[in-house]
């Protein structure tokens, strides 16, 4: 998968992919700008030619070529012309905004798409440690900051620069000495503001981080509200969220007034410069040939330059905050993803059932560097007594981190196998690994003879269905929770409901399959939720089914009826059942006993029962 990282460079590259729109938008923007930028030129005409009797040749040109009238007529005519220019300019700037907004929204949408695509493939280990609120805040707040940067860059940077260039040319034309003075002192203002902007990015980053912490805390509190109330801990958890909101307030206040102060300070420096320019202009009228009308035109151009100069000054802040937002967004792109596998052959195709072979499987939840892995070769030399050449790591204490240790299993196609063992022995971990939720530390799993290294995870999960002990339900209709958006015939749904012993449950719901099940299926009992998960499995018709304590919430009577109904459906499938209750595994043909991550015993139920001390016999 091609890795994307947010950076100013990558954003600019994306912007350049909208070349046509950018060119069109900028032509319109330039036209809109030119229309208003020429307006101050009318001042010297009106003042000098109409009031002071000084001839620039413009009124005489109008009189000769367009229209001859009196002073009132010229003033009204020029007024009408100026209003028309402003109207046209406004229309063009609306058009320009429409083009630029759609570019910036497309870019930020693209970024959200990339973030979602990355999250879609994030490894389960990363997901387990993920703070959902933190991730959503990055997808909302930080991407919004990037949006601000993109729209400012495309809509203001070029236009503002052009206005400054155009105004500078006009100023140079009016009075080059004065213009040079203005243009040379202006960079000092910009330099001053660059220094100020440095800290603003840092403050924005802190503010966004505070948003993230508040959002995470609130998310978790609301997610676990039920549990919190059961533990009578509302005060504690809501206080935590309030504390985060307080921190957010402090950071926002800090950012809010400091960034505003920095901008105002920059503006103040600019205004001070403006006042100096004004004074120098008056002196220029007194001591050079600059006319009063042209002096007024210079004043107007100084004002015309205010907003673009401010935009360029602000751009540094926007750039600093965008860099900070990118850094935070990149923490999502840095999340580890599930490995991508090139599939050579799909062993599940054209087979009704499939066998699974687990060879020398080691697994730990801890992230390991290559160097901390066991040195299999040297261990193999010592480990003559092990069934696998790679025995357990030596007595260096490191092996205690392994949840699964050298697991070897053969589950033949269509067989019914049970995995039993004390709580914490690693059964669920093994089930999760069989469906590819966690990558193997070492060892291999063969599905129908094909190694997991050559199989796509999606292929494995399409064909091997793991039914969890605590299935999650969506706050949607019963039907959606069964089908998860796939389309099945009414008969298939009815059959699945029947097998999962849900007929009566649906009949009792006020709107049947259209009933909303509430947050996490709150309207259903634990056992009913487990049966919904089983119905989901029936509908997806996998080749291998793994029941991980999937019927633990059912009474023995319902469980027996359920397995009876499932009997035909499961007949040809490979079935792995993990359970603590004997009733759940009584039909198993072969049993593996796990203890502390190792297979300590295995055999047929009969063979295991005959042993005096076995975990299986202790279940009875
Ligand atoms: N996501 C996880 N991250 C880190 N450690 C985990 C994770 N899930 C389980 N463990 C640890 O792995 C060990 C085995 O857990 P696992 O859930 O596989 O056992 P189990 O045999 O299924 O237990 P039970 O019968 O209670 O469900 C436990 O010590 C547990 O603390």
Encode pLDDT of 488-499 as tens digits. Answer: 999 999 999 999
How close are the terminal C-alpha atoms of the chain, in Å? Answer: 50
Out of 427, 470, 581, mutate this one to test ligand 1's pocket (max ligand atoms within 8 Å of CB): namely 427
Q: Decide: pTM greater than 0.95.
A: no
Atom 6, ligand 1: residue with shortest CA distance? 365
Give the residue with greater pLDDT, 380 vs 192. Answer: 192
CA of 59 to the centre of ligand 1 (A): 90
For the ranges 29-43, 439-453, 472-486, 525-539, the lowest mean pLDDT is seen at 29-43
Give residue for tokens 């920059």: 266
- The CA distances from residue 65 to 58, 62, 104, in Å, are 10, 5, 46
* Nearest ligand 1 atom, CA 421: 21
Strand partners, 592: 419, 602
Distance between CA 319 and CA 429 in Å, rounded? 46
Over residues 537-546, the mean pLDDT reads 93
Distance between CA 373 and CA 366 in Å, rounded? 11
- Is a pLDDT exceeding 80 seen at residue 573? yes
CA of 124 to the centre of ligand 1 (A): 14
CA of 427 to the centre of ligand 1 (A): 8
Give residue for tokens 């999960």: 461
Q: Which two tokens stand for residue 591?
A: 């049993």
- Is a pLDDT exceeding 50 seen at residue 155? yes
- Is a pLDDT exceeding 60 seen at residue 383? no
Question: Residues 200, 202, 207, 211: is their CA dihedral positive or negative?
Answer: positive
CA of 424 to the centre of ligand 1 (A): 5
CA of 581 to the centre of ligand 1 (A): 18
* Nearest ligand 1 atom, CA 128: 1
Encode pLDDT of 74-113 as tens digits. Answer: 888 888 989 999 999 999 989 988 999 999 999 999 999 9
**416, 589 contact by CB (below 8 A):** yes
* Nearest ligand 1 atom, CA 469: 27
Q: What is the pLDDT of residue 178?
A: 83
CA of 422 to the centre of ligand 1 (A): 11
Atom 5, ligand 1: residue with shortest CA distance? 365
Distance between CA 306 and CA 267 in Å, rounded? 9
Out of 363, 402, 403, 551, mutate this one to test ligand 1's pocket (max ligand atoms within 8 Å of CB): namely 403
Q: Confidence class of residue 118 from pLDDT cuts 50, 70 and 90? A: very high
Atom 9, ligand 1: residue with shortest CA distance? 429
Work out the number of other CB atoms within 10 angstroms of the CB of residue 616.
23
- Is a pLDDT exceeding 70 seen at residue 249? yes
**315, 201 contact by CB (below 8 A):** no
Atom 16, ligand 1: residue with shortest CA distance? 426
What does the mean pLDDT of the chain come to?
84
Q: What is the pLDDT of residue 396?
A: 45
**360, 388 contact by CB (below 8 A):** yes
Question: Residues 549, 552, 554, 559: is their CA dihedral positive or negative?
Answer: positive
**358, 407 contact by CB (below 8 A):** yes
**490, 506 contact by CB (below 8 A):** no
Q: What is the pLDDT of residue 380?
A: 40
Q: What is the pLDDT of residue 369?
A: 40
For the ranges 52-61, 324-333, 386-395, 407-416, the lowest mean pLDDT is seen at 386-395
CA of 430 to the centre of ligand 1 (A): 9
Q: What is the pLDDT of residue 3?
A: 67
Strands 442-447 and 356-363 come out as: antiparallel
- Residue 503 CA, chain-centre distance (Å), reads 40
Atom 27, ligand 1: residue with shortest CA distance? 423
CA of 515 to the centre of ligand 1 (A): 35
- Is a pLDDT exceeding 60 seen at residue 339? yes
Residue 500, classed as helix, strand or coil, is coil
Encode pLDDT of 298-312 as tens digits. Answer: 888 887 887 787 788
CA of 556 to the centre of ligand 1 (A): 25
Q: What is the pLDDT of residue 372?
A: 39
Residue 581 has φ and ψ, to the nearest 5°, of: -90, 135
Q: Confidence class of residue 33 from pLDDT cuts 50, 70 and 90? A: confident
Angle, nearest 10°, between helix axes 71-120 and 58-65?
Answer: 100
| pLDDT more than 90, % of the chain | 28
Out of 418, 428, 577, mutate this one to test ligand 1's pocket (max ligand atoms within 8 Å of CB): namely 428
Q: Confidence class of residue 581 from pLDDT cuts 50, 70 and 90? A: confident
Distance between CA 419 and CA 580 in Å, rounded? 9
Give the residue with greater pLDDT, 246 vs 388. Answer: 246
- Residue 411 CA, chain-centre distance (Å), reads 40
Ligand 1: residues whose CB is within 6 Å? 128, 365, 403, 421, 423-429
Closest to 367 (Cα-Cα) out of 128, 10, 121: 128
- Is a pLDDT exceeding 80 seen at residue 219? yes
DSSP state for residue 454 in the 8-state scheme? G
Q: Which two tokens stand for residue 440?
A: 């193997």
- Domains in the chain: ranges and CATH: 10-333 (1.20.1560.10), 415-436+463-618 (3.40.50.300)
Encode pLDDT of 250-287 as tens digits. Answer: 999 988 888 888 878 877 877 787 788 888 888 888 88
CA of 289 to the centre of ligand 1 (A): 89
Q: Confidence class of residue 244 from pLDDT cuts 50, 70 and 90? A: very high
Contacts of 218 (CB under 8 A, 6+ apart): 133, 241, 244
* Nearest ligand 1 atom, CA 431: 18
- Residue 358 CA, chain-centre distance (Å), reads 36
User: Is the complex ipTM more than 0.90?
Assistant: yes
- Residue 459 CA, chain-centre distance (Å), reads 25
CA of 597 to the centre of ligand 1 (A): 10
Atom 4, ligand 1: residue with shortest CA distance? 365
Encode pLDDT of 354-373 as tens digits. Answer: 999 999 999 988 764 433 34
The DSSP result for 512-570, as a single string, is GGG-B--GGGTTS-HHHHHHHHHHHHHHH--SEEEEESTTTTS-HHHHHHHHHHHHHHH
CA of 113 to the centre of ligand 1 (A): 34
Closest to 453 (Cα-Cα) out of 576, 337, 344: 344
Give the residue with greater pLDDT, 155 vs 570. Answer: 570
* Nearest ligand 1 atom, CA 432: 18
* Nearest ligand 1 atom, CA 549: 27
Question: Residues 382, 385, 388, 391: is their CA dihedral positive or negative?
Answer: negative
Over residues 236-251, the mean pLDDT reads 93
Residue 415, classed as helix, strand or coil, is coil
Question: Residues 94, 97, 101, 103: is their CA dihedral positive or negative?
Answer: positive
Q: Which two tokens stand for residue 231?
A: 């533990």
Q: How many CA atoms lie within 13 A of 574 on its CB side?
A: 21
| Strands, E assignment, 201-285 | none
Q: What is the pLDDT of residue 377?
A: 42
Encode pLDDT of 592-611 as tens digits. Answer: 999 889 998 888 888 887 77
- Is a pLDDT exceeding 90 seen at residue 388? no
Distance between CA 370 and CA 363 in Å, rounded? 14
- The CA distances from residue 355 to 225, 524, 540, 570, in Å, are 43, 35, 19, 15
Atom 26, ligand 1: residue with shortest CA distance? 423
Closest to 611 (Cα-Cα) out of 28, 619, 551, 559: 619
């Amino acid at each position: 998968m091609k890795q994307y990282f947010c950076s100013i460079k990558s954003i600019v590259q994306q912007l350049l992919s909208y070349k046509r729109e950018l060119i069109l938008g900028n032509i319109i923007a330039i036209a809109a700008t030119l229309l208003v930028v020429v307006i101050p030129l009318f001042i010297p005409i009106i003042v000098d030619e109409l009031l002071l009797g000084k001839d620039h040749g413009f009124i005489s040109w109008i009189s000769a070529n367009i229209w001859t009238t009196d002073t009132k007529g010229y003033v009204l005519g020029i007024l009408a012309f100026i209003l028309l220019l402003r109207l046209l300019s406004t229309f063009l700037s609306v058009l320009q905004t429409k083009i630029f907004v759609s570019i910036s929204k497309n870019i930020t949408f693209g970024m959200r798409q990339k973030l979602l695509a990355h999250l879609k493939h994030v490894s389960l280990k990363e997901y387990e440690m993920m703070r959902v609120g933190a991730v959503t805040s990055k997808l909302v707040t930080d991407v919004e900051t990037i949006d601000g940067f993109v729209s400012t860059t495309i809509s203001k940077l070029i236009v503002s620069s052009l206005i400054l260039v155009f105004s500078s040319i006009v100023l140079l034309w009016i009075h080059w000495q004065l213009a040079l003075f203005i243009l040379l002192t202006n960079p000092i203002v910009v330099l001053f503001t660059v220094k100020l902007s440095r800290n603003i990015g840092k403050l924005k980053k802190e503010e966004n981080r505070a948003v993230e912490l508040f959002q995470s805390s609130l998310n978790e509190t609301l997610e676990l509200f039920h549990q919190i109330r059961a533990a009578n801990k509302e005060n504690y958890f809501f206080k935590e969220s309030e504390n985060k909101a307080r921190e957010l307030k402090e950071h926002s206040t800090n950012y809010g007034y400091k960034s505003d102060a920095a901008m105002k300070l920059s503006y103040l420096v600019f205004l001070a410069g403006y006042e100096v320019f004004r004074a120098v202009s008056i002196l220029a009228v007194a001591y050079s040939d600059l006319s009063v009308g042209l002096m007024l035109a210079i004043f107007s151009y100084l004002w015309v330059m205010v907003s673009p100069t401010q935009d360029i000054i602000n751009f540094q802040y926007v750039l600093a905050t965008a860099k900070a937002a990118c850094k935070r967004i990149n923490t999502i792109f840095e999340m580890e993803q599930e490995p991508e596998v090139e599939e050579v052959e799909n062993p599940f195709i054209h087979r009704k059932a499939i066998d699974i072979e687990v060879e020398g499987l080691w697994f730990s939840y801890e992230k390991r560097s290559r160097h901390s892995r066991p040195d299999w070769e040297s261990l193999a030399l010592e480990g003559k007594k092990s069934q696998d050449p790679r025995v357990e790591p030596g007595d260096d204490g490191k092996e205690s981190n392994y949840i699964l240790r050298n697991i070897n299993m053969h589950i033949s196609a269509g067989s019914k196998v049970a995995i039993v063992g004390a709580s914490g022995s690693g059964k669920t971990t093994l089930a999760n690994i069989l469906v590819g939720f966690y990558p193997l530390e070492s060892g291999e799993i063969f599905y129908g003879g094909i190694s997991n290294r050559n199989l796509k995870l999606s292929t494995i999960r399409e064909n091997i269905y793991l039914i969890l002990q605590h299935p999650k339900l969506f706050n949607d209709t019963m039907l959606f929770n069964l089908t998860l958006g796939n389309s099945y015939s009414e008969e298939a749904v009815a059959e699945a409901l029947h097998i999962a012993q849900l007929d009566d449950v649906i009949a009792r719901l006020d709107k049947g399959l259209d009933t909303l099940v509430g947050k996490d299926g709150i309207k259903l009992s634990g056992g009913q939720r487990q049966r919904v998960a089983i119905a989901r499995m029936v509908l997806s018709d996998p080749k291998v089914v793994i029941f991980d304590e999937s019927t633990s919430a059912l009474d023995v009577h319902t469980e027996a009826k359920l397995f009876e109904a499932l009997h035909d459906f499961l007949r040809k499938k490979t079935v792995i059942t993990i359970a603590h209750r004997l009733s759940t595994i009584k039909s198993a043909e072969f049993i593996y006993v796990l203890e502390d991550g190792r297979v300590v015993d295995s055999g047929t139920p009969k063979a295991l029962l005959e042993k005096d001390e076995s975990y299986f016999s202790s279940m009875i």
